[in-house]
Amino acid sequence: MNVLIVEDDMLQRKSLKMMIQQIDKGINIYESADKDEALEITSIYSIDVFYVDICLNSSSGVDFAIEIRKIPKYEFSFIIFLTTHVEYLTKAFKEVHCYDYILKPYNMSDVVNMTKHFKAHIEKTNEKSEVKRYVIIEVKSGVNVKIYVDETIFIEVYLRKCMIHTVNGIFKVNNLPLSKILKIINCNNIVQCHKSFAVNVNYIKKIENVDSKLSAIYFENYDENAPLGYKFKNTIMEQFQ
């Protein structure tokens, strides 16, 4: 499940994120402090649930919600408004057809129960439609490629070139640091294993020691392997086991 929190107060945003993460660490949570950044996120990722502050510093959460309702895939998405101003809610319900609202300060049980409801609904829907999560990557100027996250085997960055190894081939992207691609993909199963590599732990077949500081990671049905640095070994081994 992909969740977007649009909230300009960083402390409140982090508090809400922490509550949602307690439900399931596998929930992908994206954050934004303003309307423009939030719209950019919705164009890159497929968001399932929106938690939107009605009053943002530089814009209106209602205006943001009206904009995303114009996008076909978000026409019926779950939108929950965050507010201390109940007088704005009538407009929010009439113009945006939001699902519900949460009053500030947040009540944990309200957040948890509501998010669990969304999660159960989305999982049931995904089981029926077999929807696969993906990201859109610009591999070169004017050329964008849809990369399915679960089909990513490993990622390597060498001489300012990022190579994303997938079951459908290798995609090369210039000037994309490892830290940024990991942030874009935002998947708990894809974990950094070396200063220049990250692997999808679901594809690991074998880990073999090379020397005291380095190991090699081998993958199911894939000829190439990836290095495992000693600083990352414990994290990888925990998930591999």
Residue 12 and residue 36: Cα distance in Å, rounded? 19
For residues 121 and 143, membership in a common domain is answered with no
User: Is 126 a residue whose pLDDT tops 70?
Assistant: no
CATH number of the domain bearing residue 179: 2.40.50.1020
Q: Are 65 and 138 contained in the same domain?
A: no
Helices 108-129 and 10-21: angle between axes, nearest 10 degrees? 60
pLDDT of residue 240: 84
Task: Please check the confidence at residue 129 and state whether its pLDDT lies above 60.
Answer: no
List pLDDT tens digits, range 185-224: 888 899 999 999 999 999 999 999 999 899 999 999 899 9
Question: Of 129, 162, 187, which closes a domain?
Answer: 129
How do beta strands 100-103 and 78-83 pair?
Answer: parallel
Lowest mean pLDDT among 20-24, 120-124, 163-167, 180-184: 120-124
68 with 146, same domain: the answer is: no
Q: Specify the pLDDT at position 106.
A: 86
154 and 236 part of one domain: yes
Half-sphere exposure (Cβ direction) of 78: Cα atoms closer than 13 Å: 21
pLDDT tens-place string over residues 23-68? 888 899 999 999 999 999 998 888 999 999 988 877 888 889 999 9
Please indicate, yes or no, whether residues 225 and 204 belong to a single structural domain of this protein: yes
pLDDT at 94 over 80: no
Q: What is the pLDDT of residue 38?
A: 93
Last residue of a domain, one of 98, 129, 160: 129
**Of 129, 144, 165, which residue sits at a domain end?**
129
Please provide the DSSP assignment of 29-62 as one string.
EEEESSHHHHHHHHHHS--SEEEEESB-SSSBHH
Do 12 and 57 belong together in one domain? yes
In this structure, are 216 and 101 located in the same domain?
no
User: 118: part of which helix (H) or strand (E)?
Assistant: helix 108-129
Range of the domain at 217: 134-240
Q: What is the pLDDT of residue 140?
A: 82
Kind plus residue range of the DSSP H or E element containing 78 = strand 78-83
> 60-92, pLDDT tens digit by residue?
888 899 999 998 889 889 999 988 877 667 766
User: How many residues in the chain?
Assistant: 241
CATH number of the CATH domain containing 29: 3.40.50.2300
Burial of 212 (0-12, 13-18, 19+ CB in 10 A): exposed
Distance in angstroms (rounded) separating the CA atoms of residues 185 and 45: 9
Work out whether strand 49-53 and strand 28-32 pair parallel, antiparallel, or are unpaired: unpaired
Q: How many domains does the chain divide into?
A: 2
CA distance 99 to 2: 16
Average pLDDT of the segment spanning 160-173:
93
Q: For residue 131, what pLDDT is reported?
A: 60
Q: Are both 125 and 236 inside the same structural domain?
A: no
